[in-house]
Amino acid sequence: MSGGFSGVHTHDGSAASHPARCEEGAAGCPRAVREAFDAACSRYADRPFLHIPQQAAAAYGNQPVEWSYGHAGQRIRELEAALRHAGLARGQRVALLLDNRAEFFLWWLALNGIGASVVPLNAESSAAELAHVLRDSGAALVLALAERWQALAPALAATGLALPPVYSVDGGAAALPAPRGGRTAADDECALVYTSGSTGLPKGCMLSNAYMLAFGRWYISLGGLCALAPGAERLITPLPLVHMNALACSSMAMILSGGCIVQLDRFHPNTWWQTVAQSGATIVHYLGVMPAMLLQLPPQPGDQAHAVRFGFGAGAHPKHQAAFEARFGFPLVESWSMTEVGAGAAVAANVEPRHPGLRCFGRPAPHMEYRIVDEHGSDVLPGAAGELQVRAAGSDPRAGFFSGYANQPELTEAAWAGGYFHTGDIVRQGRDGSLYFVDRKKSIIRRSGENIASLEVEAVLNQLPMVHQVGVGPVDDEIRGEEVMACIELAPGHAPAHALALEIFAAAAQRLPYFKLPGYIAFVSELPLTASHKLQRGALKETMRALVSEQAVFDLRAMKKRSVSGAAGRG
């Protein structure tokens, strides 16, 4: 790294060391995800590829499932043949509503063999969100679990969307319908992953095969605390396959190293350590909510009766990281990236000093260049906080990054203004080069790993007759990282009351998935506004923090359960 702690930061080393760069056709450098999987099948045919523990195997007769690379490869080839017979073509997009089921991997890899791109659908999304994703992506076909689609279809139909053909995967691939003529993806597109943005509508991040492979190569080359043994690792993750961590990071690392993906349907804290031990997991992937919940469990003699060497994730609460490591006997390796960034400028605290408990996510990697800037785009003083801006070192500053936002080239270029990707994350850098997470610049709430757009929640609440005006933002939560809070100016004729807060919560539950509902509601006389009557987000956050501290809120967090919100099923 050159210079102090501001300005353009680079590292010694050739740009060729970037994980996104691989000589085409070179040994060990496949050009597509399916090629990488086929190579793993050749080398590790009898080794386990995928394991579904008993705790997540309700769809499989409550019996654990384990497939070898060879067995999975045979099933994938059969699905690919059926897809080709149905007329699916290279460059078409196929939406997957398959949750975290084993079938997700089979269909994804079969589609990749054809050159089709997948669009993972989040079953927890509202009907409006799902309709937007299907419309924006131009999906030619939907592959779905029967029970999921039956619950979602009426609400989707109510949006007026002309649905693509839908096929239930429960019966295999015997009668795949012909796909419709959808929007054609770029030749190298592997997946179109939608992520919430500050505008409220999810944006589609186009992820290439090169992006996916680079993520896997970055992970397996980390070393230090994260050194991987080829053909021997078992990585357990409860994280959703609709997001980048499980889809690109953990899956690709295991495929490229011949490891086994231990995939859960979701996080089950009460049976977590039993599952970890029984599955033989050597690596755990986590979000900050998981250590928080596991530390709440009563101490047990078997707290360290497992084979885990390290946890890999982000967002461990400063109060929890050291306590977790001491109690459960392995380090939590904090890392940083985002869907748009991928391995292009990913960072991990995989070597000491890791500075646990300080929100440190490691030192910048040799293959990246970065700046830390103030609100005017000027470099901050050493040690000061500012927005992290990143790019790949070398001739291609976008190597390893996403290919852009689908159908929004202007947003893509705005994100790259000045030649660096603007992350929207506020960080500071210590004297030893370590980076520390401070806050998020945008009005995004990060609850249990889900990105929630404040504007989306505000739009729903502002439609209620008792609401005159509302401001939504994040407040700290020791368990879930952040919680959704709504500050509401009531319409004339309505008085603050607990019953009214419950009424607002129930009304919002008709339009929003449970995790986006306000965990706190406060009634205020006025919201902090600018001269142009826009919300002052910074002042709003301070107001919210004070109201929670003073307990001048209605705490509805206990009501936020999957059964509360029927948004996806009711529109």
| Alpha-carbon dihedral angle through residues 15, 16, 22, 25, given to the nearest 10 degrees | 140
Residue 165 sits in the same domain as residue 127 = yes
Q: Domain boundary at 429, 464, 481, which?
A: 429
Domain assignment of residue 141, yes or no: yes
Residue 565, pLDDT above cutoff 60: no
Residue 243 sits in the same domain as residue 322 = yes
Which CATH number is 487's domain given? Answer: 3.30.300.30
Residue 484 sits in the same domain as residue 419 = no
Domain assignment of residue 476, yes or no: yes
Tens digits of residue pLDDT in 319-373 = 899 999 999 999 999 999 999 999 999 999 999 999 999 999 999 999 999 999 9
Residue 310 sits in the same domain as residue 396 = yes
pTM comes to 0.83
Tens digits of residue pLDDT in 225-283 = 999 999 999 999 999 999 999 999 999 999 999 999 999 999 999 999 999 999 999 99
| pLDDT at residue 547 in the model | 97
When divided into structural domains, the chain yields a total of: 2
Domain assignment of residue 10, yes or no: no
Residue 180, pLDDT above cutoff 80: yes
Domain assignment of residue 434, yes or no: no
Residue 420 sits in the same domain as residue 450 = no
For residue 209, the surrounding DSSP H or E stretch is: helix 209-220
Domain assignment of residue 2, yes or no: no
Residue 210 sits in the same domain as residue 96 = yes
Which CATH number is 172's domain given? Answer: 3.40.50.12780
Question: Which residue pairs, CB below 8 angstroms and at least 24 apart, start in 544-550?
Answer: 544/473, 544/474, 544/475, 544/485, 544/487, 544/520, 545/475, 545/476, 547/485, 547/487, 547/520, 547/522, 548/475, 548/485, 548/520
| pLDDT at residue 567 in the model | 44
Which residues neighbour 178 within 8 Å (Cβ) at sequence distance 6 or greater? 86, 87, 165
Domain assignment of residue 1, yes or no: no
Domain assignment of residue 185, yes or no: yes
Residue 348 sits in the same domain as residue 476 = no
CA atoms of 413 and 142, how far apart (whole Å): 30
| pLDDT at residue 440 in the model | 77
Bigger pLDDT: 156 or 512? 512
Q: Alpha helices of 305-406 — where are they, by DSSP H? A: 321-328
Residue 411 sits in the same domain as residue 459 = no
Residue 381 sits in the same domain as residue 454 = no
Domain assignment of residue 337, yes or no: yes
Inter-residue contact 211 to 20 (CB < 8 Å): yes
Q: What is the mean pLDDT of residues 384-397?
A: 95
Residue 421 sits in the same domain as residue 514 = no
Bigger pLDDT: 28 or 231? 231
Residue 425 sits in the same domain as residue 473 = no
| pLDDT at residue 126 in the model | 82
Q: Domain boundary at 394, 429, 464, which?
A: 429
Which residues on neighbouring strands pair with residue 522, listed in sequence order?
487
Q: Domain boundary at 366, 394, 429, which?
A: 429
For residue 121, the enclosing domain spans 15-429
Residue 528 sits in the same domain as residue 396 = no
| pLDDT at residue 492 in the model | 95
